[in-house]
Chain A
Amino acid sequence: MLLRVEDLHKRYGREEVLRGISFSLEKGETKVIIGPSGTGKSTLLRCINRLTEPDRGRIFLEDVEITSPKADINKIRAQIGFVFQDFNLFTHLTALDNVRLGLMRVKGLPKKQATERALRELARVGLADKAKAYPAELSGGQQQRVSIARALAMDPKLILFDEPTSALDPELIGEVLSVMVDLAKSGMTMLVVTHEMGFARSVADEIIFMEKGVIVEQGPPEQLFKHPKHPRTAEFLRRITELYGGEG
């Protein structure tokens, strides 16, 4: 088992955003988390690499407890890629330097090796020719692909995607999704929060439906889409397919 989350709780003031979340992820698996806005999906992802500190519960990456107070969190984060909704590329660095920064400063690679590796990852997301461009010179879709390359370069055991296409113009969503589809096929372990039902349906090994801080239902896409066990799941899927279209 690559990732195990046990009874995770998180509270912001009086509102309990996560109310006992448990699930696990096998190596090479892609799981997609869906659910209405404000149900704690992003908080859950951020708790996994402790960008947000959970209040209660335990998280394991393989046999290392991430939530242990003794955990070397920087070392753990270097093994977990994170792709943000609004990309968060480093504004003052070129695409190449964005991908190279972690390699040089976290992994301690010499510049030459880091450059080679970074260029390879940029090529993998189809942006070899944009290495010298600054984020502001790239389209949203290109920026998100650079941010995926930045995550990939670190050789992560797992990549967390927090609504990676929600900030994109509709015509740019496809290029990001196709990179993600390729990644999933190549055996990368992925946990993806998204409203892209087409992607969820075709790529996910399992879909987790979350609402109000709990997991309502989880299962293979076919089961969830065709025979949801819970009326809330059916209701949500009906509304989201009306909104985004069936095949996405």
Chain B
Amino acid sequence: MALEPWLKVWTNLPSFLQGLSLNLALLGGLLALGLVLGILLAILEVYGSRPLRYAASAYVWLFRSIPEVLLLLLFWFGPARFGVRLSPFAAAVLALGLRSAAYQAQIFRGALRAVPAGQMLAARALGLSKFQAVRFVLLPQALRLSLAGWGNEFAVVLKDTTLAYAVGVAEVLQRARALSVVELPLTLPAYFTVALLFLGVTYGGLFALGALEKRLRIPGLEARR
């Protein structure tokens, strides 16, 4: 294989990295939104009153049922229809973040259920309210138990950020595509470079999560694998 197309792609590396930084910003935004909302949904599903439980379950069902690209398009064109102009980036964070919340809720719900019932009993027996019991006893344990599953969600949604091209976010894959449209021989080197970048980011992210898991490890409180 000729070296020239590769060199040409790599002169575009700064542009690729700029694109990648958008992917990472998108990832950060969607994970944060998904985390906060996901924890809330999980708490409602496990400890909420019946109507709240149903509402949370309905939310999860809804956002797990709609294809991602379709969600992106809905959040891009939907608000615009009502005169709300979202930037492509904001639309992507919302669509992917609300979706991730549904999946993250499943992780946290499972973890909350995995905490033995005696923990809640002991907390309530001390005089803690249900909310305090969840906040100080159940959640700290459940979040630790969630880390492995959460790493999986991280790896999935990281790659999902490339779908944001659908609403015109100039993310990294979009840039590779643009390059290959201009010069056909650059197609494979460009895509291959993007793949390498994702390999690196996934490795780094999972490494960091592994380190976090180790740091938060408490004897007797490990996810049973």
What residues make up the interface of A, taking CB atoms closer than 8 Å to B? 49, 51, 74-80, 82, 84, 86, 88-92, 101-102, 105-106, 134-137, 147, 150, 154
Contact = CB atoms under 8 A, between A and B. Distances in A.
B3 interface: no
A77 B219 contact: no
Contact of A88 (B118, B132, B144, B219): B118
Given A134-B220, A136-B220, A88 B128 contact: no
The 6 closest A-B pairs by CB, nearest first: A136-B220, A78-B127, A88-B122, A88-B118, A82-B125, A102-B126
B119 to A, nearest CB: 6
A56 B8 CA distance: 83
B195 interface: no
Contacts of A154: 126-127
Interface stretch (B10-18, B135-143, B161-169): B135-143
Contact of B132 (A92, A105, A136, A137): A105
Contacts, number: 75
Given A90-B119, A90-B137, A106 B221 contact: no
B21 interface: no
18 contacts: A49-B125, A51-B125, A74-B129, A77-B127, A78-B127, A82-B122, A84-B118, A88-B118, A88-B119, A90-B119, A90-B122, A90-B123, A90-B137, A92-B218, A102-B126, A134-B219, A134-B220, A136-B220
A8 B119 CA distance: 26
A176 to B, nearest CB: 17
Contacts of A137: 219-220
A150 B219 contact: no
Given A84-B121, A86-B118, A91 B127 contact: no
A85 to B, nearest CB: 9
Contacts of A150: 126
A129 B126 CA distance: 24
A80 B124 CA distance: 11
B220 A135 contact: yes
The winner among B122, B124, B144, B218 for most chain A CB atoms within 10 A is B122
A182 to B, nearest CB: 22
Nearest to B222: A136
Interface of B: 116, 118-119, 121-129, 132, 136-137, 140-141, 144, 218-221
B128 A106 contact: yes
A209 B156 CA distance: 60
Nearest to A102: B126
Contacts of A74: 127-129
B130 to A, nearest CB: 9
A75 B127 contact: yes
Contacts of B144: 92
A106 B125 CA distance: 11
A136 B221 contact: yes
Contact of A92 (B116, B124, B126, B141): B141
Given A78-B127, A82-B125, A89-B122, A105 B136 contact: yes
B127 A134 contact: no
A105 B220 CA distance: 24
A92 B135 CA distance: 13
A82 B122 CA distance: 8
Contacts of A106: 126-128, 132
A197 to B, nearest CB: 27
Contacts of B123: 90
A77 B141 contact: no
A77 B137 contact: no
Contacts of B218: 91-92, 134, 136
B221 A91 contact: yes
A78 B126 contact: yes
A89 B126 CA distance: 11
B2 to A, nearest CB: 58
B172 to A, nearest CB: 39
Given A92-B144, A105-B136, A135-B220, 11 more contacts: A77-B126, A78-B126, A82-B125, A88-B116, A88-B118, A90-B123, A91-B218, A101-B137, A106-B132, A136-B221, A154-B126
Contacts of A135: 220
Nearest to A137: B219
Contacts of B122: 82, 84, 88-90, 147
Nearest to B221: A91
A150 B128 CA distance: 13
